[in-house]
Amino acid sequence: MTALKLTNVCKSFGAVKVLKNIDLEVEEGEFVVFVGPSGCGKSTLLRVIAGLEDATEGTVEIDGDIVNQTPPAKRGIAMVFQSYALYPHLTVHDNMALALKQEKQPKDEIAGRVDKASKMLSLDDYLDRRPSELSGGQRQRVAIGRAIVREPKLFLFDEPLSNLDAALRMNTRIEIANLHRSLDASMIYVTHDQTEAMTLASKIVVLRDGMVVQVGSPMELYNNPANQFVAGFLGAPSMNFFPAPVVGGADGMSVGIRPEHLRIASKGGRLKGEVVHVEKLGGDTNVLVDVAGAGRMTLRLFGQHPIDNGATLEMDYDDADSFLFDAAGHRA
Amino acid sequence: MNKARRNPFNVAASHAILLTYTVIALFPVFVILINSFKTRKAIFREPLAFPDADSFSLIGYQTVMKQGDFFQYFQNSMIVTVASLFFVLLFGAMAAFALAEYRFKGNTLMGLYLALGIMIPIRIGTVAILELMVSTGLVNTLWALILVYTAQGLPLAVFILSEFMRQVSDDLKNAGRIDGLSEYTIFFRLVLPLVRPAMATVAVFNMIPIWNDLWFPLILAPAEEVKTLTLGSQVFIGQFVTDWNAVLSALSMAILPVMVLYVIFSRQLIRGITSGAVK
């Protein structure tokens, strides 16, 4: 069963084309992440799915019905916003119950669903508080609870973790993953953070300039990127690119190699350069090396290594780990 | 301000300037108040003296109470001011919401058109307005005044409020839409409470000119039963003889309601004026 089907969706604001011919299917129970740099149209796409923006062209199908003309509230979706967007004048309980009251659900049904959601998100103690009396993490949980109580066919998350600090972000990320497992619902999640995309998604959709660049599971995209953009976008620290002639390749081509696939060669390494910066993280050591003709490259070593700035380093890699791109950035 | 940044000379200077300004601003009010409690002779003998046992008199207030239906005037002014403010805020906020929230053809043009009234004084159209009111039969009704003041207040209201409405989070409005709230509910329940400081600002800016206006009551509603307070007070000012006791007493009483309303709005007002500047 298809939870969401987009066919040839386009969106323009005046003369500016923000979304260009997007085709996409989301299967029931899938966790799909839209990822891309800022301004790539991922939030606009989410808003088109939600019905907050009209598609200029194309159709949006949710659960088999074309919903282009359906108002957001009737599409069977629920959305969690980056800024939480809680109603400031309502208590936590009423925030969660409002949509159900609008749907004219019976009272005990509302009470039951709010109770279940608040238990799931451990919000029981805060039900009578106003949003202004909650911390950022709690507010985001209320926003998620407000989505859960509606029991939607499709959950939409618009960068829900961007306003949280690093530790809380990780916790909430795990909570969202758990939520997906226990609810078994279809979810669409928009983020610009590749870590969130890699850790949460069952399917990643990489967007760039309003177009879908590649669709696939996180490991597919990591191991087999379609082009230089996807290769550089996923993975942290990001992939190193250098002109192929440096290692004896063809003119106009470039080679990509991930920092963790580079290794220090004691003698005869194909890449030789000067260490300009060392980041010692304890578990990992990231070394920035200026390689003549290839530019600055990142080398990721596991464990702790006594490397100093200014040292000369020879590096090498296995050809099987490297990627070859043509001048237009496509895989060769 | 913390101690390290505090300079005694600067503190003294700024307080001196503020106190001077306060004295200048309050002086006319003060003179009106003290003289309203004095006999006519005392007013002219020593205008700046406080009323003492000799000069104290309530003759002005007694005249005001006896002559004309002062409470009727008072009530008329109150009705006109409150009703006009209500309509200015309601329609101003609605127009501002539409301009700030919806993309439609001619949005900018409409905004400019609505703001035009800030630059063109409404009194220029007095003759046309009078003709309009005569042919619609609204002359000598409070509605004539309410309609004119609403029109007069709308441009500034739309201008100020639309700026504030743009600052209300889009996510909040969208959350409402997804939860099935109508556009009216979103406007009244989500957006209006968040722009309350701006509404107070608009209310105060509009309230005082309406309360004090003499021009339109004189032209559109001079009949006894619809006279406003300002117009009613004019009966004491004659071409040759002016009953200063009565004029000063009437003015003193006219200040009161505006002051009460101002105190109510002032906290919100200050937030409204500063919120755009510091954030």
Note the pLDDT tens digit of each residue in A118-169: 998 888 899 999 998 888 889 999 999 999 999 999 999 999 998 888 888 8
Domain ranges in chain B?
A: 1-57, 68-278
Q: Which of residues 194-253 of B touch A (CB under 8 A)?
A: 194
A32: part of which helix (H) or strand (E)? strand A31-35
CATH 2.40.50.140 given to domain A238-325: yes
Chain B residues whose CB is inside 8 A of the A52 CB are 174, 177-178
Q: If DSSP codes are grouped into helix, strand and coil, which group holds residue A127?
A: coil
Reported as a single tens digit per residue, the pLDDT across A299-330 is 999 999 888 898 898 999 998 999 999 988 89
Chain B residues whose CB is inside 8 A of the A83 CB are 169, 171-172
Task: Provide Rg for chain B, Cα atoms.
Answer: 23
Q: If DSSP codes are grouped into helix, strand and coil, which group holds residue B158?
A: helix
A7: part of which helix (H) or strand (E)? strand A2-13
- Cβ–Cβ below 8 Å for B178 and A73: yes
Phi, psi of B98 (to 5 degrees): -60, -45
Q: What is the mean pLDDT of residues A108-122?
A: 92
- Cβ–Cβ below 8 Å for B175 and A87: yes
CATH architecture of B68-278: Orthogonal Bundle (1.10)
Phi, psi of B133 (to 5 degrees): -70, -35
Q: Does B172 touch chain A (CB under 8 A)?
A: yes
Contacts of B274 (CB under 8 A, 6+ apart): none
Q: Give the DSSP per-residue string, A144-197.
A: HHHHHTT--SEEEEESTTTTS-HHHHHHHHHHHHHHHHHH--EEEEEES-HHHH
Distance CA A96, CA A118 (A): 9
Chain A residues whose CB is inside 8 A of the B177 CB are 51-52, 71-73
pLDDT at residue B272 in the model: 59
Give the gap in angstroms from C-alpha A91 to the nearest C-alpha of chain B: 14
Instruction: Report the relative pairing of strands A154-158 and A77-80 from DSSP bridges.
Output: parallel
Percent of chain A clearing pLDDT 70 (strictly above): 100
* 3.40.50.300, 3.40.50.11540, 1.10.3720.10, 3.40.50.970: CATH of A2-231: 3.40.50.300
User: For residues B159-193, b (16+ Cβ closer than 10 Å) or e, as one string?
Assistant: bbbbebbeebbebbbbbbbbbbbeeeebbbbbbbe
- Cβ–Cβ below 8 Å for A79 and B175: yes
Chain A residues whose CB is inside 8 A of the B192 CB are none
Contacts of A25 (CB under 8 A, 6+ apart): A2, A4, A5, A6
Give the gap in angstroms from C-alpha B171 to the nearest C-alpha of chain A: 5
Instruction: Report the relative pairing of strands A263-264 and A31-35 from DSSP bridges.
Output: unpaired
Distance CA B173, CA B101 (A): 9
Distance CA A128, CA B273 (A): 33
pLDDT at residue B276 in the model: 45
- Cβ–Cβ below 8 Å for B179 and A82: no
Q: If DSSP codes are grouped into helix, strand and coil, which group holds residue A316?
A: strand
Q: Helix %, strand %, coil % for chain A, to 5?
A: 30, 35, 35
Q: Does A173 touch chain B (CB under 8 A)?
A: no
For A102, the closest of B171, B172, B179 (CB atoms) is B179
Q: Does A99 touch chain B (CB under 8 A)?
A: yes
Residue A332 has pLDDT above 90, yes or no: no
Weakly modelled stretches of chain B, pLDDT under 50: 276-279
Residues of chain A with CATH 2.40.50.140: 238-325
Give the gap in angstroms from C-alpha A87 to the nearest C-alpha of chain B: 7
Q: Tell me the one-letter amino acid at A329.
A: G
Chain A residues whose CB is inside 8 A of the B180 CB are 73-74, 99, 102-103
For A87, the closest of B177, B178, B190 (CB atoms) is B190
Q: What is the mean pLDDT of residues A200-218?
A: 94
Distance CA B211, CA B229 (A): 8
Chain A residues whose CB is inside 8 A of the B171 CB are 81-85, 158
Chain B residues whose CB is inside 8 A of the A79 CB are 174-175, 178
Token pair in block for residue A318? 């296995």
For B177, the closest of A72, A83, A84 (CB atoms) is A72
Distance CA A157, CA A43 (A): 10
Distance CA B53, CA B31 (A): 18
Q: Does A73 touch chain B (CB under 8 A)?
A: yes
Chain B residues whose CB is inside 8 A of the A85 CB are 169, 171-172, 174-175
Distance CA B243, CA B60 (A): 8
Q: Does B177 touch chain A (CB under 8 A)?
A: yes
Q: If DSSP codes are grouped into helix, strand and coil, which group holds residue B149?
A: helix
pLDDT at residue B279 in the model: 34
CB atoms within 10 A of CB A310: 8
Give the gap in angstroms from C-alpha B91 to the nearest C-alpha of chain A: 23
- Best residue in A102, A157, A158 to probe B by mutation, most B CBs within 10 Å? A102
Please provide the average confidence, as pLDDT, over all residues in chain A: 91
Query: Which residue, among A293, A289, A295, has the nearest Cα to A307 in the 3D structure?
Result: A289
- Cβ–Cβ below 8 Å for B178 and A103: no
Contacts of A239 (CB under 8 A, 6+ apart): A231, A232, A256, A257, A258, A259, A323
Reported as a single tens digit per residue, the pLDDT across A162-197 is 888 888 888 889 989 999 998 888 999 999 998 999
Nearest CA in chain A to B170: A85
Strand partners, B254: none
Chain B residues whose CB is inside 8 A of the A158 CB are 171
Residues A234, A225 contacting (CB under 8 angstroms): yes
Interface predicted TM-score (ipTM) of this complex, two decimals: 0.84
Burial class (CB in 10 A: 0-12, 13-18, 19+), A212: buried
pLDDT at residue B1 in the model: 55
Give the gap in angstroms from C-alpha B198 to the nearest C-alpha of chain A: 18
pLDDT at residue B278 in the model: 40
DSSP state of A311: -
User: For residues B121-140, b (16+ Cβ closer than 10 Å) or e, as one string?
Assistant: ebeeeeeebeebbeeeebbb
Reported as a single tens digit per residue, the pLDDT across A253-289 is 999 999 999 999 887 888 889 999 999 999 999 999 9
Contacts of A54 (CB under 8 A, 6+ apart): A48, A68
Percent of chain A clearing pLDDT 90 (strictly above): 67
Residues A310, A274 contacting (CB under 8 angstroms): yes
Residue A215 has pLDDT above 50, yes or no: yes
Give the gap in angstroms from C-alpha A275 to the nearest C-alpha of chain B: 44
